[in-house]
Every structure is written in structure tokens, then in C-alpha cells.
Amino acid sequence: MRSLVLPDFTISRSEECDGCRACEHQCPFGVHTYDASNDRMVSDSRKCAGCQRCAVFCPKGAIEIRPAPSFYRPNASWSRERIEDIKRQAETGGVLLTGCGSDKPFRIYWDHMLLNASQVTNPSIDPLREPMELRTFLGSKPERILLRDDADTDPVLTLETPILFSAMSYGAISYNAFQALAIAASRSGTFFNTGEGGMPAEMRPLFKKHAIVQVASGRFGIDAEYLNCAAAVEIKIGQGAKPGIGGHLPGEKVSKHVAATRMIPEGTDAISPAPHHDIYSIEDLEMLISAIKEVTNYEKPVIVKVAAVHNISAIASGIVRAGADILAIDGMRGGTGAAPKVIRDNVGIPIELAISAVDRRLRDEGIRERCSIIAGGGIRSSADVVKAIALGADAVYIGTAALIAMGCTLCQRCYTGRCSWGICTQDPGLMRRLNVEEASQRLVNLLSAWSHEIKEMLGGMGINAIESLRGNRDQLRGIGLHEWELDLLGIRGAGE
Amino acid sequence: MDTRELNSLLRELMLAGYERVVLRNVCGQRYIGTRLYSPQRRVMNIEIHGTPGNDLGAFLFGHRIIVHGNAQDGVGNTMESGEIVVAGRAGDVTGMSMRGGRIFVKGDVGYRAALHMKEHDQKRPVIVVGGTSQDFLGEYMAGGIVILLGLYGAHNASFIGSGMHGGAIYLRGSVRGAQVDSHVLISRPDETDMEILRDHISGFIERFPDLSLDLEYILDSEWTKLSPRSSRPYGKLYA
């Protein structure tokens, strides 16, 4: 059927273009082709994803990709996006898929909170001269200090900076991207998360001290050995981009190596059902947590990851009581390789509200020490990290920010498997575009840069250890927020 | 003895090199066999008298467990290899996400047996059940083999094979189309299937000699095979 959808981008090519065909080689969506009869390059803008790969790699800098200026008659109710979504569905009859996090203009609370800085009474600290402590321990903490030789403490994760790489599975991302995350986590003293795709056998001995392995509803790639080749085990109940939705890796992305890692036949759909079919209650969750602790000989903390949804604080309370050592909450701006667009943009709540509500509820119930909180889904900068911790998180997960560090331009076509930057693809040719060493160095640099910035912000507040910032809402003030929002966040307005 | 203590003791015995353990008066202790992972793949035989609790042999890594009596829910949950023999009935989600090894159940199994069972490479999990199962048998099944011998009555389960995209279910006797998900193909087993059945049913007979079953008689009965119509059930769902 002929598509009635307008192109999203226009492609212009300056006279500098010498027909070297680099753009043709770079574009996995088939936008650029060489027209031999006229000896020039031609472009089909309908296919353009706006990934900017051709523009970056054009040796002459001759290509420019811009949003298409064409528009339908302006209509406040029927935006171009609404019209084109309907056209696409009328053409295919299918659920609209998309990649990355929601691009809708929901209020970003990070941008409505301002940090404090010490001035006279409590002096600020210069992190260049004074020691600043970013080391973070995640896991269940004892309720009181016991000085006994045989004191039995629960296992904890030790991070050199309060930032972890969130779950991105091998299969959704390429082998090279997966390796880059693992290398960067081990060099930076933090952790990467395998997602629900398992961990390739050859990587296990190298990265087991820095891996968090995930148990999702599809139970892909899971056996006793996998669970024991990790620093922690995460049970994924939900994820921010698609709460209540299962995972589905289409058969064409299940290559031989992905199949071996997930322990399924090559080329079949890898379906993670929406619920864990053995979990229908908090008691059932407790059973899976206990089973995982049994199989790992009580040596590893267990994380339970849920999406930020309505009533999240009651859910969190149940999860802590079920025995989770760490609770990971993923906000609605969390990314994904593929989600139904309608779910991504309409389900869940922002992470800022969720952390605040959960932290307060767990404190009110007197069980906050039993569990650490990792916040994810919309962390864009070191300031977001600091604000998340001040709201009550112990550490944060970064996913999209890590992908951007490796070169991702958020073109949102991850679900096609044609990632031009080699991050979100299983195509061997495309995958080679991501140099593992370079990508891991970029990730290490990002973590190091953010850590320096966090130290600066802490110093400015007169705090010398990240531990002292956790739940320290007095360091935050809201600006441009309603009373109910300030109440929920547990912060005062600017000027108070 | 509580669950954790029992499993610690079993682990100690395994690490000390014991290869056979008999547990008596078992009463609801969970995860028996689960804490027995060892990188060297040590293997034990565990014989249980009494009723083990949920998740018997969860994540089982090559061990053999025999239960003289009934088992509860989650038998062989995500087991990797080994064998579980239950000389009674087993509860819900028996063999859930199991990816290798064999489970033999003399009686019936509960709801959602073989849920998301999968196979890979040389690993092909097998469940042989003397009786029948409750609803949602083989839900999301992605591989492996389930055999229901129907020794004690008809198969009345509904929603069999919902979301099934791999593996095969063999039933002695028949099922109505309405009991089975529309993604599932109902057929008669061919010769290769009968070889598979012969192999695993003789294994079942060997483990439960008290039933005095005749292999040829069982094989000569009416058999029904359920298999997925496609390994890509949702291939056309998305735009």
C-alpha cells in the first residue's frame, strides 16, 4: 500500500559533495543511492530516521538533515504526529512500535528543583583539596550497630560512584555495546546489568564481579551458573518505558550467538510474558527472591525492579517486606529497545515523584534500612543524580545517557535492528561500527565527569559524603511547582 | 528443621563429597536441591520421604531427586539439568521455564505445567505425567516435550498451549478443539514422535514399576500431538 505519511526530515546536499558514496555506505535505512545516469547522489528522505550518521561521516561535511518544514493545516487537536500515527496504522493494522524513552513534554521535575549551596554559616568544601566520598553501598543494612565477631550481615554492592548502567540486554543491544558497558563498569568500579538476555559464557569469568544479572518473566539465559556469575541478581517485574508490558525480541534479531546466550532456538521469537506467571502476590515474589538467594547461597543481594506507577509506595513496601535487598524503580521516561508507543507515552509516572513517595513511605513504616533504592528512567545529568539522591534514592541507573555516550542520537528506530551507530543491532556489518575500546572509554569518561561534578555540587552544599545527601530534602527547593507537587516531593518552595 | 538449615546441610554434604542422601519426615521445606550449584558440577541423589515444599529442585543443576509422595508447586522451576521423580502428584507450574533434564510425575500436575518451557542446542527438557494436568498446560511453551499418559481419566484442561511457539505436547487420548489455543496445531503423532514417546514412556515405566504398565499397550492407544503453528506467533502484530 502506498504510504501517505510525510517525510520527517529533509536532506540537503551542498555543492561540496564529490559523490564519494560514503553516505550510501553509512545509511542502514537505504536513504542515499548513487544515480549513475546523472553521476550524482540522490536521497529518499521518506526513509530518513534522522540519526545523523551520514552528516557526521560525510568527508566534505556536505550533508545536512533538518526536520521537514512541510506541515498539515495547523490544528490544535490534530497534530502532525496524531495524523501520521493514524495513517501508519491504517496502512499496517499493527501496534505502533518505538524505541528510546518518551519524547512527550511531561513536566521534568528535575528542572523544577534547585540545589542549595552553603555560604557563611556552614562553609562549602573544595573537592579539589578535601576528600569527598562517593562510595555507595547498596543492600540491606543492619538496624543497629553490633560489635560482634560473628555478626551476620547481608551482602552489599560497593560502588565507587552512585551510578550504575541499567539493564540493556544482549539482543536488544549489540555484542560490542554490551561489552563496552561491562568494561566501563569494571574500570569505573560500578555495575552493568545484563537485562533479560543472559550473559555470553565467555564474558562471565571476566566481568562477574561487575555484573548484575536479570531474571525476567521469560527466564532467558538463566541457570544456576549464570546466577552465580554475578555480583547481584535483579528480578525484573516492570520497566519504565512499558510498565505492565512484556518483552518481545523478534525472531530476526535472535542470531546464533543471541540464541545461545538466551538459551533458545535461533530465529524464534523471544517472548517475555507481561507478568511472571509464578508471581501473583507478594508471597509469590518472596518465594522467587528466596529461591534466588538459595541458588546463590545467600552471597548476593537481590534487586527487584519495578516501573514507577500509581500507588508505587504501597508496592515498594510489599517488595521490601518480601525480602528484596535493593529496590530499583524505573520512571516513565525510561528508554527501551521497543515498546508500543501508546504505552510508552501514557503509562506510569515520573521517577522524581516515585522516589520521593517511596522513600517517605518506607521511612514512615520504619523499613527504609532494609532496602536500598536505585532510581532510573530519565537521569540526564549529574545534577539529576544529586537531586535523585537528595529525594531519597541511594544510587541511580543510567541507560539512555550511557547509549548517548556511545554515540546514540535518539532516532528512536532501535526496534528495527538497523541502528546506524552499531549500538542497537545484531547486523555484523553495523555492529563493527562501534569500537568496543573507544565506546568503553567514552562511558568511563562520562562517569568520571559526572563524579567530579557531583563532588563539586556536594562541596557547594557543604557535604563531604554522598551518604549524607541521601533523603536530605532540605538541600532542594521547588520552583514553578504547585502545592501538591511540593508536598509529594517533600520539598519547600524556592525562597522558603 | 527449617528450609534454610536443611539446604545448608545438603550443601555441606555435597561439598563433602556425598553422592546419596535420604531425607525423612520432610514437611514443607522449600527449594530442596536449589543450593546445590557447584562449578565442578558435583551431582547428588536425594531421596525424599514426606512432602517437600514449593520450588522443589528450582534451578536444579544436574542432581537427581526422588520424592516418595506428593510434591507442591514449582517442581523443577527453571531447572537446567538432572531429574526429578515424584511418586504422587505435583502442583502448579511444574517444570516452569525448565530448559533441560527430565521430570516424571506418577499422578497429575496442577495449573500452568510446562509454562514457558524452552529448549536450546542439545538441551531438550521432558515432563512425563501419569495422569493429566489442569488448565494452561504449556502456556508460552518455547521448546521441550510434555507427555500426559492420561492413566486415571480424561484430559479436561482448557487453554492448553496459549502463546505456545515451540516444543510439543503429547496426550494419550484426545482433546476437543475448544480446549486448545488457536495457535496450536492438533495432529496425530508420526513415527518420529512415536520413537520419542517410546523412549520417554519406557523411562516412566522403569521409575514406577508398581503401576505394572505395558509399554506396547500404552503406545498402541490413541495419541494426540499438540504443536505450535508458528515459531513467530506475533510476527505481524506490529506496524
The pLDDT tens digits of the residues spanning A303-338 come to: 999 999 999 999 999 999 999 999 999 999 999 998
Note the pLDDT of residue A59: 95
- Taking a C-beta distance cutoff of 8 angstroms, is the pair A331, A292 a contact? no
B59, A291: Cβ pair inside 8 Å?
A: yes
Q: What's the rounded mean pLDDT across residues A398-427?
A: 95
The pLDDT tens digits of the residues spanning B6-47 come to: 999 999 999 999 999 999 999 999 999 999 999 999 999 999
Q: What percentage of chain A reaches a pLDDT higher than 90?
A: 86
Q: What's the rounded mean pLDDT across residues A347-363?
A: 97
Maximum Cα interatomic distance, chain B, rounded to a whole number of Å: 58
Residue A280, CA distances (Å) to A222, B142, B157 in order: 21, 22, 21
Q: Chain A closest CA to B69's CA: distance in Å?
A: 22
The pLDDT tens digits of the residues spanning B208-228 come to: 999 999 999 999 999 999 999
The pair phi, psi for residue A457, each rounded to 5°, is: -65, -40
Choose, out of A248, A257, A258, A268, the residue to mutate when testing the contact with B (most B CBs < 10 Å). Answer: A268
> For residue A133, which of A101, A108, A157, A159 has the smallest C-alpha distance?
A159
Note the pLDDT of residue B210: 96
- Alpha carbons B75 and A372: distance in angstroms, whole number: 32
Note the pLDDT of residue B235: 65
Residue B53, CA distances (Å) to A257, A290, A368, B91, B141 in order: 37, 13, 31, 10, 25
Q: How confident is the model at residue B236 (pLDDT cuts 50, 70, 90)?
A: low
Going by their DSSP bridges, the two strands A247-249 and A270-272 should be labelled as: antiparallel
- Alpha carbons A494 and A489: distance in angstroms, whole number: 13
DSSP SS3 for B177 = helix
Residue A368, CA distances (Å) to A291, A324, A465, B46, B77 in order: 23, 12, 19, 40, 31
- DSSP per-residue string spanning B58-102: TT-EEEEEEEES---TTTTTT--EEEEEESS---TTTTTT--SSE
A268, B58: Cβ pair inside 8 Å?
A: no
What ranges make up the beta strands (E) of A23-166? 32-35, 40-43, 63-67, 97-98, 113-115, 136-138, 157-159, 163-165
Q: What percentage of chain B reaches a pLDDT higher than 90?
A: 92
Q: How confident is the model at residue B161 (pLDDT cuts 50, 70, 90)?
A: very high
Grid cell, residue A306, equals 519495578
Beta bridge partners of B145: B126, B168
Q: How confident is the model at residue A204 (pLDDT cuts 50, 70, 90)?
A: very high
Q: Find the residue in B nearest to A254 (Cα).
A: B232
> For residue A89, which of B194, B239, B127 has the smallest C-alpha distance?
B239
- Alpha carbons B153 and A198: distance in angstroms, whole number: 41
- DSSP per-residue string spanning A78-90: S-HHHHHHHHHHH
Q: What's the rounded mean pLDDT across residues A101-122?
A: 94
Note the pLDDT of residue A265: 85
Residue A59, CA distances (Å) to A23, A24, A246, B181 in order: 9, 13, 43, 56
Residues 6+ apart with CB under 8 A from A482: none
Q: What's the rounded mean pLDDT across residues A398-425?
A: 95
- DSSP per-residue string spanning A465-492: BGGGTTT-GGGEEESS--HHHHHHHT-E
- Taking a C-beta distance cutoff of 8 angstroms, is the pair A215, A223 a contact? no
Which of A222, A265, A297 minimises the CB distance to B11?
A297
- Alpha carbons A3 and B59: distance in angstroms, whole number: 50
Beta bridge partners of B109: none
Beta bridge partners of A374: A328, A395
What ranges make up the beta strands (E) of A97-190? 97-98, 113-115, 136-138, 157-159, 163-165
Handedness of CA A7, A8, A9, A10 (dihedral sign): positive
DSSP SS3 for A430 = helix
- Alpha carbons A428 and A447: distance in angstroms, whole number: 28
**DSSP symbol at B120:** B
Residues 6+ apart with CB under 8 A from A204: A211, A225, A226, A229
Please list every residue in chain B whose beta carbon sits closer than 8 Å to the beta carbon of residue A269: 165, 231-235
Residue appearing with cell numbers 544456576: A224
Please indicate if any CB of chain B lies within 8 Å of the CB of A278. yes
- Taking a C-beta distance cutoff of 8 angstroms, is the pair A269, A248 a contact? yes
Residue A446, CA distances (Å) to A51, A164, A384 in order: 21, 12, 14
Please list every residue in chain A whose beta carbon sits closer than 8 Å to the beta carbon of residue B78: 219, 222-223
Note the pLDDT of residue B239: 67
Please say if the pLDDT value at position A48 is more than 70: yes
Going by their DSSP bridges, the two strands A157-159 and A163-165 should be labelled as: unpaired
A94, B239: Cβ pair inside 8 Å?
A: yes
- Taking a C-beta distance cutoff of 8 angstroms, is the pair B174, B153 a contact? no
Residues 6+ apart with CB under 8 A from B231: A251, A265, A267, A268, A269, B165, B166
Q: How confident is the model at residue A249 (pLDDT cuts 50, 70, 90)?
A: confident
Please say if the pLDDT value at position A180 is more than 80: yes
Maximum Cα interatomic distance, chain A, rounded to a whole number of Å: 85
Q: What's the rounded mean pLDDT across residues A124-132?
A: 94
Please say if the pLDDT value at position A151 is more than 70: no
> For residue A163, which of A387, A374, A304, A476 has the smallest C-alpha distance?
A374
Q: Find the residue in A nearest to B11 (Cα).
A: A297
Q: Chain A closest CA to B190's CA: distance in Å?
A: 23
The pair phi, psi for residue A260, each rounded to 5°, is: -65, -35
Grid cell, residue A339, equals 515498546
Residues 6+ apart with CB under 8 A from B134: B92, B108, B109, B110, B111, B112, B113, B157
Residues 6+ apart with CB under 8 A from A285: A235, A237, A279, A304, A318, A319, A322
Residues 6+ apart with CB under 8 A from B181: B159, B160, B161, B162, B163, B164
Query: Which residues in B99-118 are b (16+ Cβ under 10 Å) and which e?
Result: bbbbbbbbbbbbbbbbbbbb
Q: How confident is the model at residue A205 (pLDDT cuts 50, 70, 90)?
A: very high
Please list every residue in chain A whose beta carbon sits closer than 8 Å to the beta carbon of residue B60: 224
Note the pLDDT of residue B231: 74
B239, A267: Cβ pair inside 8 Å?
A: no
- Taking a C-beta distance cutoff of 8 angstroms, is the pair B8, B35 a contact? yes
Please say if the pLDDT value at position A427 is more than 80: yes
Mean residue pLDDT of chain A comes to 94
Residues 6+ apart with CB under 8 A from A221: A194, A196, A197, A198, A199, A261, A262, A263
What ranges make up the beta strands (E) of chain B? 20-27, 45-51, 61-68, 81-86, 102-105, 126-129, 142-148, 166-172, 184-187, 223-228
Note the pLDDT of residue A247: 80
Would the pTM of this model clear 0.90, i.e. be above it?
yes
Note the pLDDT of residue A251: 79
- Taking a C-beta distance cutoff of 8 angstroms, is the pair B97, A217 a contact? no
Please say if the pLDDT value at position A142 is more than 90: no
Please say if the pLDDT value at position B141 is more than 80: yes
Count H helices, E strands: chain B? 3, 10
Please indicate if any CB of chain B lies within 8 Å of the CB of A294. yes
Please indicate if any CB of chain B lies within 8 Å of the CB of A263. yes
Q: Find the residue in B nearest to A295 (Cα).
A: B35
State the CB neighbour count (10 A cutoff) for residue A434: 23
Residue A182, CA distances (Å) to A177, A188, A456, B111, B125 in order: 9, 10, 27, 40, 32
Going by their DSSP bridges, the two strands A339-340 and A97-98 should be labelled as: antiparallel
Q: Chain B closest CA to A73's CA: distance in Å?
A: 26
How many residues are recorded in chain B? 239
Note the pLDDT of residue A271: 81
> For residue A416, which of A57, A27, A11, A104 has the smallest C-alpha distance?
A27
Please say if the pLDDT value at position A125 is more than 70: yes
The pLDDT tens digits of the residues spanning A206-220 come to: 999 999 999 999 899
The pLDDT tens digits of the residues spanning B67-110 come to: 999 999 999 999 999 999 999 999 999 999 999 999 999 999 99
Residue appearing with cell numbers 495524523: A83
